[in-house]
Structure 1
Amino acid sequence: MPIVRKMSEIAVLGAGVVGLTTAVLLQSEIPDAKITVVADKFTIDTLSDGAAGIFRPGTSFSGPNPEITRQWLFDSYQHYYKIYKSSEAAKAGVIEASGYVYSKEFPEITKNHFLEGLLPVYRPATPSELKLCPGDWKYGAFFTTLVIESRYHLPWLTNKFEKAGGKVVIRNVERLDELAGQFDAAVNCTGFGAKKLCMDNKLVPIRGQVYKVKAPWVKMFFYGDYDTYIIPGVDYVTLGGSRHFDSYRKDWDDHDGAGILERCYEILPNLKQAEIVRKWSGLRPHRDPVRVEKEVLQVGNSTLKVVHNYGHGGYGVTTAPGTSKYAVALVKEFLENKISSKL
């Protein structure tokens, strides 16, 4: 009699860009598994929806070691570039953009060791380019990268996932052990929700807020001092930003908003004509290093195999494919019994 192999059931917790990317990659890498996305927030309610989505990791972004960190970024860029070159680019909201990063005081702001060897173009700005925008800019760099518009990308990922047989469940999971007995493995992509779910004191919020404006004449992105950025997307331009470490305030702050507009108007004065269509504020889930690792939870007489994939800070969109690919490999190790349950 032939042996009937039980189909593996895997839960992905979280429906932001990290969770949905993980779910789609699981379907690709483990095609005989049943994948379920479990979340209480979707699309416009997720942190990912407010992101500018530009592929530009901060120089302090870190995984468990430099080699893995660089691999995550390489895999992420290649993933998005493949989509950009495909017929799905428009539906997926992946576009190419070029622009400048300027500084009046800090030359290190214009350098990025992750991008200088990865992007097709990353070079110092010329003297004439430093004069493109008002202000006494002393340092600058020009580069070409990708922008991933979450307003398009999240629905595209969801549709791709469901068309491949994936299941979506609206549910608030308060404890990981709730999943024991229901799934063979779970991938925790809950972002800042992991602070409570995992009692993780290393996970801290970085509060931020941005404007979305109608400015179709803005074709290039610009970065300036004090976390100032102007990033064109598919439909709107994102104006930012702010970074308040360990701040739990979620609502909009008018004082911070006024500062964002003032700094952005200094770089591109014609933005004063732009219509503001949305104000967004949220808590970025920052962890150093980003947690992508396996854990076995003992639940009564059974165990729950968990792979964590959270703590990306403000670089969730940028690094989601790379960390998700890494997480999927850990899930495969679990299912193939290549590690001890005593880990």
Structure 2
Amino acid sequence: MKSVTVIGSGIIGLTSAIALQEQGFQVRIVAKERFDKTLSNKVGAVWFPYAIEPLKKSSLWAAQSFDRYKKEAGIAPGISFVPFLNAYVDESKEDWVDQLPPGTVRKARPDELPNGMEKGFIADVPLAEPPLYLPYLFEKFLSLGGSYEQKTLASMVEVAGLDSWVINCTGLGARALCQDEDLHPMRGQILRAEKLTVPSFADPTKKGALSYIINRSQDSVIGGTDYDDDWNESIDPKDTDLILSRLKTFGIRKNPEILEVIVGLRPKRSAVRFEFDPDFPNVFHNYGHGGAGFTVAWGCALELSEILSQKTR
């Protein structure tokens, strides 16, 4: 059986591993941290192509992921479809809208828009709840014959020596591992709160003032921040106050009960690195997905598995 090692156990690593298994590969995951310690376990994870390039390619990946989640809804724990309102302005590039099935997306009526939001699209989109979905993926990976090893890798030489084929899904960790200075953190702070009654929405139209509410089965995720080149992983009370103050601008008068404050660093890059390494040709890179990891993960994984399958025929 063809053998491949995937580095990283976040959403990109797990979906890549399973897609490869479905193509007949024997897959091992090697990761510094288990899935429940990764950035992927911290996020709200609604389907939303945010802070990712290139736009056209990522829109195709997002559409493929949409289809995969549609197949998993009602089967995979944590996967459901929810109405989601996304704000836009005239200069916004909304390529993702054209990739969805006809009738999936419509423009919001004025009475559906929160205070301060001028325009928006409404669509029923996938919601992945990481505490439920990631364990399901990990167990599925193991049930398909996969193995897991916890290990820290220090160099590309070490990476390339892991297996005949290696898939690098290390997210922000690839900056040091690959000496990739194009990859940098975009700091996000979010609030996990009691479940709200207002509709889920996102307003990404103002740089540095990302605002959203994602209603999940048992709670709501309120965001957020999008600070480029900010490595601070500590909770900042000022950001908590800022997030809550923005809620008021959208007409939400009463502060919700906060259950947890979470900080994570998104792996942002000028474009997703999705290619074979020029110096280590048995290594394929799949990292730099910005704030859209769950949104494009399956699309990337399926394309990657097809590329490697063709390589090994």
Pairs within 5 Å for 1:262-273: 262-267=245-250, 269=252, 272=255
What code does the residue aligned with 1:154 have?
L
Return the offset for 1:254: 1.3
Pair 1:221 & 2:221 matched? no
Return the offset for 1:206: 0.7
Return the offset for 1:252: 1.3
Distance 2:251 2:98 in 1: 26
Q: Which residue does the alignment assign to 1:140?
A: 120
Distance 1:294 1:319 in 2: 19
SS at match of 1:26: helix
Pair 1:99 & 2:84 matched? yes
- CA-based RMSD of the aligned residues comes to 2.2
Pairs within 5 Å for 1:213-292: 213-215=193-195, 217-218=197-198, 220-224=199-203, 226-267=209-250, 269=252, 272=255, 274-292=256-274
Return the offset for 1:145: 1.1
Equivalent pair of 1:189/1:308 in contact (CA under 8 Å): yes
Distance 2:107 2:91 in 1: 12
Return the offset for 1:271: 5.4
- In 2 relative to 1, CA 94–169 (structure 1 residues): closer, same or farther, beyond 3 Å? same
Return the offset for 1:306: 0.5
Structure having the higher strand fraction is 1
Equivalent pair of 1:55/1:147 in contact (CA under 8 Å): yes
**Under a length normalisation based on structure 1, what TM-score does the superposition of the two structures give?**
0.83
Q: Which residue does the alignment assign to 2:53?
A: 62
Return the offset for 1:72: 1.4
SS at match of 2:277: strand
Match of 1:37 among 29, 32, 40: 29
Distance 1:44 1:174 in 2: 22
Which one has a bigger Cα radius of gyration? 1
Equivalent pair of 1:296/1:305 in contact (CA under 8 Å): no
Percent pairwise identity: 30
- In 2 relative to 1, CA 182–191 (structure 1 residues): closer, same or farther, beyond 3 Å? closer
SS at match of 1:283: strand
SS at match of 2:270: strand
Q: Deviations over 1:229-276 (max 9, x none)?
A: 00111222110011111111111111111101111244252652x321
Structure 1 segments unaligned to the other structure (5+ residues): 1-6, 299-303, 337-343
Task: Specify which structure has the bigger relative contact order, considering alpha-carbon pairs within 8 angstroms and separated by 6 or more residues.
Answer: 2
Equivalent pair of 2:49/2:58 in contact (CA under 8 Å): no
Distance 1:50 1:36 in 2: 24
Equivalent pair of 1:211/1:276 in contact (CA under 8 Å): yes
Equivalent pair of 1:211/1:279 in contact (CA under 8 Å): yes
Q: Which residue does the alignment assign to 1:20?
A: 14
Return the offset for 1:102: 4.3
Distance 2:58 2:69 in 1: 17
Match of 1:88 among 64, 75, 99: 75
SS at match of 1:325: helix
Distance 1:136 1:185 in 2: 50
Q: Which residue does the alignment assign to 1:341?
A: none
**Under a length normalisation based on structure 2, what TM-score does the superposition of the two structures give?**
0.90
Distance 2:112 2:87 in 1: 10
Pairs within 5 Å for 1:187-206: 187-206=167-186
Distance 1:108 1:278 in 2: 35
